[in-house]
Structure 1
């Protein structure tokens, strides 16, 4: 018996990948707790090197805490704009988070004690971060399939956010995730619409046998 999905199921998988967007604009409608649970279960199904499952998710339910996280993001937004020098004004005009508006706010983190996991990490210790990224991508795609938007915010100083949320020593925040209902999904990535950059041609990014050798 074939292990492949039916054509309709397969098309749905590729569609959700194609239509996933890094969302910044949300309505304030609440997210159904049952849906949130499904999304977190999807994240928890992510692959992890050495089966370490290093992801931890913190749901931010306190409004004042949410505003404190937004303040961290606003400060980093300005610092990032200054660091971009010739594009400072462009960066300042961009909306880079939906922290105040989204229905649910999550912080995704690397757990403490990761050094005891050696399998698959001896030469590439950063594979713990890759595992958390895979969990976030699972959540992202599942959210899109549920009709919910998700935005990954990296505008924060990790040590400050860790202190704010009482992280244990060795744990590290990796993402602030804005999750919620949206009026519409962007037709293309927001930074592409804003003229920040464009999606590169796949043929320029795939090589054969040696770096830089085009696939014939």
Structure 2
């Protein structure tokens, strides 16, 4: 299969329009099971080291969401001390656990056998899971569904909530999916002047 310039333009538009959506932008609208399936199926098409496909997805129920939210709230309060020099941090909305329609916890399934490509770089399995997450993010955006990645969480606490054995699985991400009021024309943290967008020349070794 070959692609054309129109395909490239569409892909570029989706990539550059991807946003990390927070609770102040989700709306009360259900995601159909068909569209959820499309998002999850896209994860299965991600590259994985040694074709290991080490991802596991957990659809979070409302009771579990409440427990995750309570843990997040405590973690967020504790994290404030790390950003004393940035008062803006106190007012940031950094999650959409309750406001989004669907929450998904993503895990890396540890492999006890030798995996092709992991002989010297053991964490490539975890990197493969991140590739699956990006597929989900871009696919959701193509469906006009927002996704937010909640990262102020302690894996040990999350594992306890879901009764996950840390010896078998490693917590990678907690994702929130839902329809939005809008998709910002720029990343929210860029709009709030939290940081500046880097240019390509700034990311190249010279």
TM range (shorter): over 0.9
Q: Distance in 2 between matches of 1:117 and 1:169?
A: 19
In the TM superposition, what is the alpha-carbon distance from 1:165 to its structure 2 partner? 0.2
Instruction: Find out whether 1:43 has 2:30 as its counterpart.
Output: no
1:33-60, Cα deviation, whole Å (9 max, x unpaired): 0000010000111111111111111001
Q: SS of 1:22's equivalent?
A: coil
State the match for 1:85 in structure 2: 84
Q: SS of 2:95's equivalent?
A: coil
State the match for 2:30 in structure 1: 30
Instruction: Find out whether 1:165 has 2:158 as its counterpart.
Output: no
Higher relative contact order (CA 8 A, sep 6+): 2
Cα pair 2:42 2:139 within 8 Å, conserved: yes
Q: Distance in 1 between matches of 2:139 and 2:15?
A: 10
1:66-109, Cα deviation, whole Å (9 max, x unpaired): 1111111111212222122322x321211100000101111111
In the TM superposition, what is the alpha-carbon distance from 1:129 to its structure 2 partner? 1.5
For structure 1, the 5+ residue unaligned runs are 208-212
RMSD (CA atoms): 1.3
Q: List structure 1 segments (4+ residues) > 6 angstroms apart after TM superposition.
A: none
Cα pair 2:52 2:115 within 8 Å, conserved: no
The equivalences for 1:1-216 within 5 A come to 3-24=1-22, 25-61=25-61, 63-87=62-86, 89-111=87-109, 113-170=110-167, 171-207=169-205, 213=206
The 1:180–1:120 alpha-carbon spacing in structure 2 relative to 1, beyond 3 Å, is same
For structure 2, the 5+ residue unaligned runs are none
Cα pair 1:77 1:92 within 8 Å, conserved: no
